[in-house]
């Protein structure tokens, strides 16, 4: 009976101890956040001398529902279990690498957008020389991409038939954009003769079935 009581007490102690430990999944995310905080502080000269780890880490731990004591207790537990501690750090490293890859992709997209804007800026600068009748494509690009840079600003939407505002909100803008001096189609084709068609339709040979 005493033996069973000792086992029960041991199990209760283990359960109470495990409840105070931070799970490995959350611990990996906490380690990743702490690493990012340290990296930010080390890269900021003004904060290196003023940084206090207790003040820096405590808000991170609190956001996950834990305290510094919980974190220290958990690390002490995993130090005696190096394989599990290694898996925690590897998971944190994997999470940081995934985040870094996403940031690099975002930066690449932003560089492509900036390059496109520069290219379109040159095109619009050339088309702006023809102020009397600018190209409809250039006018569309200007309002879609560079609307905030246009010279025309207004507080309220103009009338639909207003000709004072060269913007997509007015019918004048669309009318002007759709007006094109297109060459008739027949002028592109020198041979205007009609294509001769057979007067009598003949069935294809592959559709004729021999009866016999």
Q: Looking up tokens 């095109």, which residue turns up?
A: 123
**Residue with the larger pLDDT of the pair 90 and 124:** 90
Which of 37, 28, 34 is CA-nearest to residue 92? Answer: 28
Q: Looking up tokens 């290219």, which residue turns up?
A: 119
**Could you tell me the pLDDT band of residue 87, with boundaries at 50, 70 and 90?**
very high
Q: Average pLDDT of the chain?
A: 69
Supply the DSSP symbol for 170: S
Give the per-residue pLDDT at 41.
80
Helices 82-127 and 136-145: crossing angle in degrees, nearest 10, is 140
Q: Looking up tokens 């009338």, which residue turns up?
A: 159
Q: Looking up tokens 């999944």, which residue turns up?
A: 25
Quote the Cα angle for 202-203-204, to 5°. 115
Helices 68-79 and 24-42: crossing angle in degrees, nearest 10, is 110
Q: Are 75 and 27 a contacting pair, CB within 8 Å?
A: no
Give the per-residue pLDDT at 97.
92
Give the per-residue pLDDT at 66.
93
Q: Is the pLDDT of residue 81 over 80?
A: yes
Q: Is the pLDDT of residue 209 over 80?
A: no
Q: Is the pLDDT of residue 3 over 70?
A: no
Structure tokens at 7: 């086992």
Which of 90, 83, 71 is CA-nearest to residue 27? Answer: 71
Supply the DSSP symbol for 200: S
| Cα–Cα dist 96/78, whole Å | 21
Q: Is the pLDDT of residue 36 over 50?
A: yes
Percent of the chain at pLDDT > 70 equals: 43
Stated pTM of the model? 0.49
pLDDT, tens digit (0-9, with 9 covering 90-100), for 93-152? 999 999 889 988 988 888 887 777 777 777 666 666 655 555 556 666 666 665 554 444
Q: How far is CA 66 from CA 29, 61, 70, 74, 165, in A?
A: 13, 5, 6, 11, 59
Give the per-residue pLDDT at 57.
86
Give the per-residue pLDDT at 189.
53
């Amino acid at each position: 009976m005493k033996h069973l009581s000792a086992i029960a007490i041991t199990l209760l102690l283990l359960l109470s101890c495990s409840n105070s430990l931070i799970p490995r999944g959350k611990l990996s995310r906490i380690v990743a956040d702490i690493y990012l905080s340290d990296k930010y502080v080390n890269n900021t000269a003004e904060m290196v001398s003023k940084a206090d780890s207790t003040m820096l880490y405590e808000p991170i731990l609190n956001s996950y529902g834990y305290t510094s004591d919980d974190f220290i207790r958990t690390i002490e537990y995993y130090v005696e279990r190096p394989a599990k501690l290694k898996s925690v750090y590897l998971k944190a490293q994997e999470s940081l690498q995934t985040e870094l890859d996403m940031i690099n992709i975002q930066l690449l997209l932003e560089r492509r957008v900036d390059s496109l804007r520069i290219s379109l800026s040159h095109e619009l600068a050339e088309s702006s020389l023809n102020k009397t009748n600018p190209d409809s494509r250039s006018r569309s690009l200007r309002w879609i991409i560079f609307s905030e840079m246009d010279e025309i600003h207004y507080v309220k939407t103009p009338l639909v038939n207003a000709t004072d505002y060269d913007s997509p909100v007015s019918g004048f803008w669309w009318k002007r954009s759709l007006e094109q001096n297109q060459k008739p189609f027949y002028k592109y084709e020198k041979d205007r003769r009609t294509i001769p068609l057979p007067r009598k339709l003949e069935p294809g040979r592959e559709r004729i079935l021999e009866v016999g």
